[in-house]
Amino acid sequence: MGMSGITGRMMASDIMSFFRLSEDLGAAPVWVFNNGKISHHDEVDKDILDSLEFARGSAESTWGSVRAAMGHPEPFPVKYVAIGNEDCGKENYRGNYLKFYNAIREAYPDIQMISNCDGSSGPLDHPADLYDFHVYTGSRALFSMKNTFDNTSRSGPKAFVSEYAVTGNDAGRGSLLASLAEAAFLTGLEKNSDVVHMASYAPLFINDNDRTWNPDAIVFNSWQQYGTPSYWMQKFFRESSGATIHPITISSSYSDSLAASAITWHDDDVNFGPDAVSLTFSATGLQGSINALGSTATVLTSGSVMDENSFANPNKVVPVMIELRNAAEEMEVTLPPHSLSAFDLALAQSRLVAEM
């Protein structure tokens, strides 16, 4: 069915809400639509071109005029669409996928299309700009996946890690333990950013009065909200986009419980183990001398790995920043047990941050 009549206008209202939210957040929207007679629970047809015209068409176009009448004459910047969701193994996926791919490519040649089929360990058998990668698992398993993309082909479509999170008992209702495993996984994405184009934690929001999924990054009710440790963990990585990746080597008897990445201007270190770890931090080839004034260390940790935030105590597990008075190209650092640490070194011409 196309976006015609009352049904189409009801869909337009839902679409408008999604795009206004992404606009308010300053986030790029990724349009995920049904792959035609494929869904988790039923079979439906979709005409995505009408929907894309609603989002991107001029205010004079058929569906762009509906958007304009709803108060948004300017088009929304839709650059990505996902053809289906977790549908790769279903019978009609590839055939339907190609129909959508060809139609969208002809109408909107700049739109990046995302396949549901995983291309991390082998080439896809159909064209795509990106492929979708989902992982929900326990903390130890996700920690061990920090090297997942090390051997991925450097040619072909890029990865969109659109859903990742620690789930099950390790997650609680948003635990420190979960956030540390997720941080280790993200160090691997950061180090492989030449093949991992985008990543998004899922889900982002949850109404505490309607918990249909657990855990989540931001919890709210009608009048208050808080971020889980996984929310605060992601703030450590928010400056990674567009940064320069630097190779990093960990030599320690605790290396099995450590993960790290380094960028200019950002470096992350995760201590997933129960013991404090002392390391000698050595940086070479920097484009400027390190200035102790302005260098900082930021640490996310707590008394127990299962500690959580709540409405009553929203700041139980939050990052703490301190001055890094011994900042130098070679310095001694200590990683607290079960922690995520970022070492932000002020340079003469740029910044280097190490997160562990």
Inter-residue contact 28 to 55 (CB < 8 Å): no
User: Hey, what are 147's tokens?
Assistant: 């090297």
Structure token digits, residue 190:
């950061």
Residue 239 annotated as catalytic = no
The whole-angstrom separation of Cα 193 and Cα 158 is: 9
Alpha carbon 356 to chain centroid, angstroms:
18
Spatial neighbors of 172 by CB under 8 A, at least 6 apart, are 178, 215, 306, 308
Of 43, 74, 86, 330, which is the active-site residue? 86
DSSP-based three-state secondary structure for 134: strand
CA distance 356 to 336: 10
Amino acid identity of residue 110, one-letter, is D
* Nearest alpha-carbon partner for 214 in 180, 179, 173, 175: 173
Tell me the two tokens of residue 281: 């931090």
- Reference 186, options 61, 10, 342, 52; nearest CA is 342
Q: Which helix (H) or strand (E) holds 12?
A: helix 5-25
Contacts of 17 (CB under 8 A, 6+ apart): none
Residues contacting 171, CB < 8 A, separation 6+: 139, 165, 178, 214, 215
Which 3 state secondary structure label does DSSP give 331? strand
Q: Rg of the Cα trace of the chain?
A: 22
Q: b/e string for 128-143 if b means 16 or more Cβ within 10 A?
A: bbbbbbebebbbeebb
With beta carbons less than 8 A apart as the criterion, state whether 100 and 128 touch. no
Q: What are phi and psi of 115, to 5 degrees?
A: -85, 150
Query: Positive or negative CA dihedral for 21, 23, 29, 31?
Result: positive
User: Catalytic site residues?
Assistant: 86
